[in-house]
Structure 1
Amino acid sequence: MTLYFTKDHEWIDVAGDTGTVGITVYAQEQLGDVVFVELPEPGRGVKQGGEMAVVESVKAASEVYAPVSGSVVESNDALAADPSLVNQDAEGAGWFTKIKLSDSGELGGLMDRAGYDAFVKSLG
């Protein structure tokens, strides 16, 4: 499995042709307490950089963008019952969806952990 990050603070953990997607620890810290998550239905097509899901917190609602293009194969139903999983384990149990990649070449435009950490530090 290989972990990648976007400048919009999403992560994708790729195994084979499928990636598990969520928001980063930094993103959930900026949002505060997550109270609702709207996830895409399995079978829905997503485009890299396109809106994929919505996360709402006590502070704001924010779109979650697809880090890659493909088709949603699974959404994390546990988030419907307990959206706070995003705050508890943003880069683990708080994952949003799994996407079957349509173009693995898109991963080349994403950052690795070191690149993402440097990007976050540059935000001040």
Structure 2
Amino acid sequence: MKYEEFSEMEWKVLVSYWAAGKPLTAAELSVQFNLNNSTVLTVVRKLLQADILEVVGHVKKRRFLARKYSPRVTESDFFTDNLDQLDISRLTEIFLNRMKDEKTCLYLLNMINLSKSS
């Protein structure tokens, strides 16, 4: 799966895992970022198959074990390895125009401010 082929929800799930900063189950991610659990499970399966996410542990939830997932790369490494400056500009513009989740927008704005200060 190439980044150009990511759906809005695939980006949202990936960025949410980056924003969480720790491994989460799909259910935990759904609750923390107010996303539909069924949709998150579907997207997580796609991202696992594409080697974007990995299973990093398990946690007991009631009568079953739930997998904890984490991105295989940091957001910085992902963008550095896959995009040139023009791609980053275009992708950022498209992403921000589509993004309606305030938490994720604030997270991205914070990242931008941190990179400017470095």
User: Shared topology, TM-score over 0.5?
Assistant: no
Bigger Rg, which one? 2
Structure that is richer in helix per residue: 2
**Larger RCO (CA under 8 A, 6+ residues apart):** 1
Structure that is richer in strand per residue: 1
